[in-house]
Amino acid sequence: MTFDIAIVGGGIVGAATLYKLQQKNPNLTIVLLEKEKELAHHQTGHNSGVIHSGLYYKPGSLKAKNCFDGRHELVAFAKEHGIKYDICGKVIVATDAKELPNLDRIFENGVQNNIEGIKKITAEEVKEIEPFVECIAGILVPCTGIIDFREATAKMVELALALNKESEIRLDTEFISVEKTANCSIIQTNKEPIQAKYIVYCAGLQADRLAKKDGVKLKEQVVPFRGDYYELAEHAKHKVKNLIYPVPDPNFPFLGVHFTRMVDGSVECGPNAVFSFKREGYNRTDFSLRDTWESLTYGGTWKLFLSNIKYGIDEYRRAFSKRLFLKSLQRMIPSLTMEDIEPARAGVRAQLLSQNGDTRDDFRIEHHGNSIHVLNAPSPAATASLAIGNYIAEVVHEKLDL
DSSP 3-state assignment of 235?
helix
DSSP 3-state assignment of 366?
strand
* % residues pLDDT > 70 (the chain): 100
* Structural domains of the chain sorted by starting position, each given as residue range(s) with its CATH number in brackets: 2-45+150-219+361-399 (3.50.50.60), 221-234+265-360 (no CATH)
**pTM score, two decimals?**
0.96
Is 165's pLDDT higher than 90? yes
Stretch 9-29: mean pLDDT, rounded? Answer: 97
DSSP secondary structure, 124-182, as one string: HHHHHHSTT---SEEEEETT-EEE-HHHHHHHHHHHHHHH-TT-EEESS--EEEEEE-S
Q: Which amino acid is at 310?
A: K
* Mean pLDDT score of the chain: 95
402: confidence class by pLDDT, cuts 50, 70, 90: low
Helix H or strand E segment including 260: strand 258-261
Distances (CA, A) of 175 to 189, 191, 197, 213: 5, 9, 16, 10
Q: Which residues are CB-contacts of 154 (< 8 A; sequence separation ≥ 6)?
A: 15, 39, 40
DSSP 380: T
Is 401's pLDDT higher than 80? no
Residue range 190-222, pLDDT digits in tens: 999 999 999 999 999 999 999 999 999 999 999
Alpha helices in 250-335 (DSSP H): 289-296, 299-307, 309-319, 322-330
Residue range 169-195, pLDDT digits in tens: 999 999 999 999 888 999 999 999 999
Is 153's pLDDT higher than 80? yes
Picking from 145, 161, 211, 199, the residue whose alpha carbon sits closest to that of residue 39 is 161
Q: What is the pLDDT of residue 319?
A: 86
> Which residues make beta-bridge pairs with 168?
31
Cα–Cα distance, 224 to 222 (Å, whole number)? 6
Helix H or strand E segment including 73: helix 62-81
Stretch 78-88: mean pLDDT, rounded? Answer: 98
What are the backbone angles phi and psi of residue 179, rounded to the nearest 5°? -125, 130
Q: What is the pLDDT of residue 311?
A: 81
Cα–Cα distance, 324 to 140 (Å, whole number)? 28
Q: What is the pLDDT of residue 362?
A: 92
Q: For the chain, what is the radius of gyration of the CA atoms?
A: 21
**Burial zone of 128 (CB within 10 Å; 0-12 exposed, 13-18 middle, 19+ buried):** exposed
Is 297's pLDDT higher than 90? yes
Residue range 247-282, pLDDT digits in tens: 998 777 677 899 999 999 999 999 988 999 999 999
What are the backbone angles phi and psi of residue 8, rounded to the nearest 5°? -105, 110
